[in-house]
Each structure stands twice: as C-alpha cells, then as structure tokens.
C-alpha cells in the first residue's frame, strides 16, 4: 500500500511512464528472486513457497525505495514541499474521513462477501474449489487489466481536472 500511495503522486501528475518503469522493474526483480529462491539457483537455497513470499516482500520494498528516492529529487521536494509541508490539518483529515469512509466500508463489505463465498464453495469439496479458482483466475486474467486500467485512467483525469480547479470538465473526462 505504501508503494501504491507513492505511485499515485506520479500518476496524478500524469507521469505514468515513471510508474510503469518502477512497477515493471519491481515485477522483473520479483520474477528473478522467485526463480532463485524457489528453486535454489545462483547460490541461493531452495526455499519453495517461502521463497515466493520473500521475493514478493523484497520486490515491494524495492518499489517503495525507488519511489522514495524519486520523491526526494530536489525538483519534487521543493516544488511540492514534500518535507516542509508536512503538518496535521484537521479540516483535511475530516474531509478524508468524510469521503473515504464510505468507500472503505464498501470495500470491507465487498471483500467480506467474497471471502464468505469462497468459504461456502470450499465446503462443497475440492472439485468445486478447483473449478471456482479456475473460473476466478480466467476472469481476473481477462477482465482485471481492463477494469483496473480504465479505473486508474478515469480517476487520474478526473483528479487532474479537480486539481486544476475545473470541476466542470471532470465528469466529461477531458484531459
């Protein structure tokens, strides 16, 4: 979540190439570490599934480090006051809670319902669980990139229009 929040800075500015390079580099690192730590290549011990977990953790922290270094560049640090502008703002926190809490509650209900559904399918036996997992994986492979990509693109354009104080253009999604 830390890396996602940090990448939002660049996405909001329209610098999606930066996000693509950092995220792709982290994914490549994850693949290399998976290969090394799962199967024990390049002098590493074979850790199996534990190696997968550690590779993912290292790749995520690599992303955080990359975004952190980029954010500390003097151009960003000075222009956006990333260090000096840090202070508690009660009015801003109130707005964040006011608009963020319903979205968080929606996500909590959605994830809870999905988890309950998976538990119910799991009680039907291993064949039902395998079929459900296969169906979810195919759907995620086909639909998730489109849904996530469109969602990020639309929210970026709307956020940019709101940031430019042109709320009339936000619903139309004009860049």
95-111 average pLDDT score: 89
CB-based burial, 130-153: b 16+ in 10 Å, e otherwise:
eebeeeeeeeeeeeeeeeeeeeee
- Whether the per-residue pLDDT at 175 is higher than 60: the answer is no
Q: What pLDDT is recorded for position 146?
A: 79
For the chain, the structural domain boundaries read 1-87, 124-175
Convert the pLDDT of each residue in 146-168 to its tens digit. Answer: 777 787 777 777 777 777 787 77
- pTM higher than 0.75: no
Q: What pLDDT is recorded for position 23?
A: 93
Convert the pLDDT of each residue in 12-65 to its tens digit. Answer: 888 889 999 999 999 999 999 999 999 988 888 888 888 889 999 999 999 999
- Assigned token pair, 41: 């290549």
Three-state secondary structure string covering 48-65 = CHHHHHHHHHHHHHHHHH
Place of tokens 């709101």: 162
Q: What pLDDT is recorded for position 59?
A: 95
Q: What pLDDT is recorded for position 152?
A: 76
Q: 54, 47 in Cβ contact below 8 A?
A: yes
Q: What pLDDT is recorded for position 172?
A: 58
- Whether the per-residue pLDDT at 120 is higher than 60: the answer is yes
């Amino acid at each position: 979540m830390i890396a996602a929040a940090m990448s939002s800075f660049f996405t909001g500015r329209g610098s999606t190439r930066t996000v693509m390079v950092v995220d792709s580099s982290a994914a490549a690192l994850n693949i290399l570490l998976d290969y090394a730590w799962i199967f024990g290549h390049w002098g590493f011990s074979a850790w199996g599934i534990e190696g997968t977990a550690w590779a993912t953790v290292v790749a995520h922290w690599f992303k955080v480090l990359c975004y952190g270094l980029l954010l500390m560049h003097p151009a960003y640090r000075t222009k956006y006051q990333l260090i000096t502008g840090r202070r508690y703002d009660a009015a801003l926190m109130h707005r964040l809670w006011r608009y963020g809490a319903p979205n968080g509650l929606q996500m909590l209900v959605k994830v809870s319902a999905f988890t309950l559904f998976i538990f119910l399918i799991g009680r039907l036996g291993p064949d039902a669980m395998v079929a459900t997992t296969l169906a979810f994986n195919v759907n995620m492979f086909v639909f998730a990139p489109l849904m996530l990509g469109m969602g990020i693109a639309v929210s970026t354009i709307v956020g940019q229009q709101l940031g430019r104080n042109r709320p009339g253009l936000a619903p139309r999604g004009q860049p």
